[in-house]
Structure 1
């Protein structure tokens, strides 16, 4: 079984993922842009039962552009965004790819919410969807 590790900037929160992710995506919704402070958020969807977290995460209840609930989890000390639980994908924990210790095993398979993407972002040959794929 493959193991992946990661954590926040200050090291207060660490996590271990056992097994392979269900999905790797880039979200361009306006909420992910604001939350990440960037043009998008690169996320890895993992079944919740495959993730062990040490440290206390802070939570912010949000709703995405879809209107569905999103629980954003982050480090209350350094502010690093770490995880999201999204109503439209129950049972998955969306891990912010930039918090992984090694991202070499991951590549996005889709771009979501491209109707909100920054004009200068090129999605290349990766499939792109204006909202969530059906």
Structure 2
């Protein structure tokens, strides 16, 4: 899969090559904060296939967390593009709303539904988990 995307103002562009490890929607409170209230729609992609083709993002990590993630965003318009987790160094979390063609995305699971708000929608038949699915 060869994907391209950008921030809202167009100052930052990226290319992402490779097959997604996961396509999901997350309803946890942290994702609600960073999305402005909606579930977070994302794909876990190989980090080796990702590159910024225009501009350089700003980064943010919370210093009060034991294992903080790093969020990459446009300093001009604030668009959150990517999240990097220290426990997944070979992958990154790509925000669906930043894709030039977001129709390539269809979530395969919904996670952290324990925090789901009444106005969040989970499609009928989509596997949903209170936290994470069992590993197996």
Please give the range of the TM-score, normalised by the shorter of the 2 chains: 0.7 to 0.9
User: Is this contact kept in 2: 1:83–1:94, CA < 8 A?
Assistant: yes
More strand by share: 1
Aligned residue for 2:98? 99
Aligned residue for 2:78? 79
User: Secondary structure of 1:62's match?
Assistant: coil
Aligned residue for 2:57? 57
Aligned residue for 2:130? 130
Within 1, Cα distance between the matches of 2:29 and 2:14?
27
- Cα deviation, residue 15, structure 1: 0.5
Q: How many residues align?
A: 131
User: Is this contact kept in 2: 1:62–1:72, CA < 8 A?
Assistant: no
Gaps of 5+ in 1: none
User: Secondary structure of 1:104's match?
Assistant: helix
Within 1, Cα distance between the matches of 2:29 and 2:22?
21
User: Secondary structure of 2:69's match?
Assistant: strand
Q: RMSD of the alignment, in Å?
A: 1.9
- Cα deviation, residue 114, structure 1: 0.8
Gaps of 5+ in 2: none
User: Is this contact kept in 1: 2:47–2:89, CA < 8 A?
Assistant: no
Aligned residue for 1:4? 3
Answer with 98-107 or 114-123: which moved more: 114-123
The TM-score, its normalising length taken from structure 1, stands at 0.88
Answer with 77-86 or 117-126: which moved more: 117-126
User: Is this contact kept in 2: 1:20–1:46, CA < 8 A?
Assistant: yes
Within 1, Cα distance between the matches of 2:128 and 2:3?
27
